[in-house]
């Protein structure tokens, strides 16, 4: 499905600010995998996503998606097969445009000079109703009026409107209040199951990392230091994860948010 082969990334190479972000990352994501990713601040989790989505390019190594080498493809081309959600709910939608218009742009149906069709409108209405947030009756309202949770749910809908081959979730519930976060997470789970998406999710919540998905990766200093699935993962507890981290990284986890949400 997705293969990372020897991927490296260094920021500001050759300057005093040099920062090694990713070192020799090798990862093989199988079709239908739901991988949760944890790690301390600056471990390279978001850099990994930026690399896969094409926000910036790797210094070396190859990224293969569905048998096709996408290492040098620009972001908007990769977006056809990769959907992405960020921690900031404001990033995924255009605030000055209506819900309907945002969805239409994400759906990309019809020609460049076509208007939003009736068929699309009823499709959007149907999909919005699934969110159970009352958005289906507010389709003509600008997205800027929505709450963070509503916008994130809408972004999720936009990202999966044309089911992507790979869905990247970068702490997409971290900025929401607990109740809304649960709801968005539930919607996420449903969408991923229904469309049978391959999914990678960064989270700071160790409980969630073990609860959701079928595989968990731990990162530190630009390396993957733990990769568990199947039985090993089922037996694993949050404390095991913390101990595992201490052993492998040679230091305690320095992510306060992660420890607090333990």
Residues making contact with another protein (CB under 8 A): 74-77, 79-80, 83-84, 91-97, 101-102, 104-106, 108, 110-116, 158-159
Pairing of β 198-202 and β 34-39: parallel
The residue among 75 and 240 lying less far from another protein, judged by its C-beta, is 75
The residue among 94 and 129 lying less far from another protein, judged by its C-beta, is 94
CB of 119 to another protein, least distance (A): 14
Q: How far apart are CA 198 and CA 28, in angstroms?
A: 12
CB of 261 to another protein, least distance (A): 27
Rg of the chain in Å (alpha carbons) = 19
The residue among 13 and 94 lying less far from another protein, judged by its C-beta, is 94
CB of 114 to another protein, least distance (A): 6
Sign for the CA dihedral angle at 7, 58, 52, 259 comes to positive
CB of 75 to another protein, least distance (A): 5
The residue among 162 and 214 lying less far from another protein, judged by its C-beta, is 162
CB of 84 to another protein, least distance (A): 6
The residue among 100 and 220 lying less far from another protein, judged by its C-beta, is 100
The residue among 102 and 205 lying less far from another protein, judged by its C-beta, is 102
CB of 79 to another protein, least distance (A): 4
- Both structure tokens of 174: 């971290």
Q: How far apart are CA 72 and CA 175, in angstroms?
A: 32
């Amino acid at each position: 499905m997705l293969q990372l082969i020897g991927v490296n990334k260094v920021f500001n190479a050759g300057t005093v600010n040099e920062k090694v972000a990713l070192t020799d990352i090798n990862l093989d994501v199988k079709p239908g995998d739901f991988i949760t990713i944890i790690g301390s601040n600056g471990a390279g989790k978001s850099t990994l996503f930026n690399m896969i989505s094409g926000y910036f390019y790797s210094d070396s190594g190859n990224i293969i998606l569905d048998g096709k080498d996408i290492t040098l493809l620009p972001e908007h081309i990769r977006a056809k097969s990769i959907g992405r959600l960020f921690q900031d709910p404001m990033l995924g939608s255009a605030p000055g445009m209506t819900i309907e218009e945002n969805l239409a742009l994400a759906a990309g149906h019809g020609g460049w000079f076509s208007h939003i069709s009736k068929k699309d409108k009823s499709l959007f209405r149907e999909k919005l109703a699934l969110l159970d947030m009352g958005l289906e009756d507010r389709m003509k309202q600008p997205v800027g009026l929505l709450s963070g949770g509503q916008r994130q749910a809408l972004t999720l809908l936009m990202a999966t409107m044309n089911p992507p081959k790979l869905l990247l979730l970068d702490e997409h519930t971290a900025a929401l209040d607990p109740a809304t976060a649960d709801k968005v997470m539930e919607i996420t789970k449903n969408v991923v199951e229904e469309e049978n998406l391959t999914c990678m999710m960064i989270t700071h919540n160790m409980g969630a990392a073990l609860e959701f998905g079928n595989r968990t990766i731990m990162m530190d200093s630009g390396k993957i230091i733990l990769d568990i699935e199947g039985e090993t993962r089922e037996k694993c507890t949050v404390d095991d994860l913390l101990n595992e981290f201490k052993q492998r990284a040679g230091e305690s986890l320095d992510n306060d948010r992660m420890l607090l949400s333990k």
